[in-house]
Amino acid sequence: MLGLPLVGSHVAQVMIGVTDTLMLGWYDVRALAAVTIAQTLWFVLFIVGSGFAFAVLPMVASALGEGNERQVRRVTRMGLWLSAIYGLAVTVPLIWTEWIMLALGQTAETAAMAQDFLHIGAFGLVPALLTMVLKSYLSALERSQPILWITVIGALLNAGLNYLLIFGHLGFPEMGLRGAAIASVTLHVLGLFVFCFYSARVTPEHALFRRLWRIDREAFGQVLKLGWPIGLTNLAESGLFSAASVMVGWIGAIPLAAHGVALQLSSLTFVVHLGLSQAATVRVGNALGRKDYGGLREGAATASVLSAVFALVMMVVYLAIPEQMVGLFVAPDDPARPEILEVGSKFLIVAALFHLVDGAQVVALGLLRGLHDTRRPMVYAALSYWAVGIPVSYVMGFVLGWGGVGIWLGLVVGLTLAAALMLGRFWSQVGPRGTLLPT
């Protein structure tokens, strides 16, 4: 029962980005291309900083398995500290990134519009990171259903705000990209307040926010030690997709818009695997704390099988109705619609290929984090995505002349290598002949 609410909460969270993409696609294809590159930059910085939140999850789970309630409070509070420090450090540079987009070969119009979005959207980074820490804390406590409902309400509110602010309905000004950015920041801030209130209300025994300004040097170091490799691992993976966005942007604004649509659709299904991965982290962390090695292996096998079954189902969907799925994001009368449908459908067909291995690698990451094993996966991610995936994407896309489809095929190669290495790492430690755990 832990995994299903976590999956639902991640789906609801991604629906915020999907809603932005959907509504901006109906508003203006140029805005869709701009928000694709802007959200790519925002997400890269967010996912790196989320390493501290992801570290809190297995640390709280293991502390609960050991019955150490004091450690639960210590690591969660220092996770908030580290996330805030990182977020404040990168928010200002994120506001002024137009020159980066131009240097990466984006058109002047796309870069300027993306910068308009980030002038506002950057201020949602700190509250989003702090919210991630509280979500990890509550997930480890197996309070995942409130996370689901809070996130679902947030996604619905985001859609309503987008309707008012992007298009200017009900007397509100028509703000386009800026309206979408205001809606997103509003949601991040409100979400943080709600999760703070809920955490303080339902777990008063942990006193998370009492004397929060006092640093706990030992716990700070523990979260930092576990969290920075997770952040760099996240950077390696998100960097693969970010590089793909940049390379597709070299081809043109319409392929970039189609890429953004396909990426949002594939992200919507990917987060199911992410929810299973986090549930696996909690189960493995708890079992490790209790020294229940048989239960650890059983939980790992269950998460892996569920991920594979869902991936196979979604592969069929992607292959069966790619045009219909992409068509939801583009207005029927938009002159660019036929080209976006054609290009986006090809991207989704390739996404069907990488969905299975993408799910396998993120579940393997969750299992390894449950063992507090984060440094070797960081090396594997850098090798798979940067040394293999990105070069292969470039060669297939431009040297072989396969365009955007070739770039996406490079993603398949990188994700496949990562999945093989990380699954091999986990089962070599906990399998019948494992080197870490007794049989």
Q: Report yes or no on 69 lying in a domain.
A: yes
Q: Report yes or no on 439 lying in a domain.
A: no
Q: pLDDT-derived band of residue 71, with 50, 70 and 90 as boundaries?
A: confident
Q: Which pLDDT score, from 0 to 100, does residue 413 have?
A: 93
More confident residue, 330 or 316: 316
Total count of domains within the chain: 1
Share of the chain above pLDDT 70, in %: 94
More confident residue, 37 or 375: 375
Q: At what angle do helices 177-202 and 125-140 cross, to 10 degrees?
A: 40
Instruction: Tell whether the model's pLDDT for residue 9 goes beyond 70.
Output: no
How far apart are alpha carbons 146 and 346 in whole angstroms? 38
Q: What is the pLDDT of residues 107-131, one digit of tens each?
A: 788 888 888 888 888 899 999 999 9
Phi, psi of 343 (to 5 degrees): -70, -45
Q: Report yes or no on 106 lying in a domain.
A: yes
| Most confident option among 125-129, 242-246, 272-276 | 125-129
Residues comprising the chain, all counted: 439
Q: Report yes or no on 436 lying in a domain.
A: no
Q: What is the pLDDT of residues 18-39, one digit of tens each?
A: 777 777 777 777 777 777 778 7
Q: Report yes or no on 10 lying in a domain.
A: yes
Quick one: average pLDDT of 330-336?
77
Quick one: average pLDDT of 266-270?
79
Helix or strand run (H / E) with residue 368: helix 337-370
Q: Report yes or no on 438 lying in a domain.
A: no
Q: Which pLDDT score, from 0 to 100, does residue 393 have?
A: 94
45-68 burial, b at 16+ Cβ within 10 Å, e below that, comes to bbbbbbbbbbbbbbbbbbbbbeee
DSSP string, 228-266: HHHHHHHHHHHHHHHHHHHHHHHH-HHHHHHHHHHHHHH
Q: Report yes or no on 48 lying in a domain.
A: yes
Q: Which pLDDT score, from 0 to 100, does residue 434 have?
A: 55
More confident residue, 432 or 3: 432
> Considering the chain, what is the average pLDDT of its residues?
83
How far apart are alpha carbons 156 and 85 in whole angstroms? 30
Which amino acid is present at 380? Y
Q: Report yes or no on 437 lying in a domain.
A: no
Q: Which pLDDT score, from 0 to 100, does residue 416 have?
A: 94
Q: pLDDT-derived band of residue 57, with 50, 70 and 90 as boundaries?
A: confident
Nearest to 250 by CA among 150, 348, 103, 390: 103
Other Cβ atoms within 10 Å of 10 Cβ, number: 25
Q: pLDDT-derived band of residue 259, with 50, 70 and 90 as boundaries?
A: confident
Cβ atoms of residues 244 and 391 within 8 Å = no
How far apart are alpha carbons 259 and 247 in whole angstroms? 10
Q: Identify the domain containing residue 168 by its residue range.
A: 3-430
Q: Which pLDDT score, from 0 to 100, does residue 11 have?
A: 60
Q: What is the pLDDT of residues 212-236, one digit of tens each?
A: 788 888 989 989 998 888 888 888 8
End-to-end CA distance of the chain: 27
Tokens of 302: 């269950």
Q: What is the pLDDT of residues 380-410, one digit of tens each?
A: 999 999 899 999 999 999 999 998 889 999 9
Q: pLDDT-derived band of residue 3, with 50, 70 and 90 as boundaries?
A: very low
Phi, psi of 171 (to 5 degrees): 85, -5
Cβ atoms of residues 140 and 55 within 8 Å = no
Q: What is the pLDDT of residues 420-439, one digit of tens each?
A: 999 999 988 876 655 566 54
Nearest to 247 by CA among 410, 119, 76, 5: 410
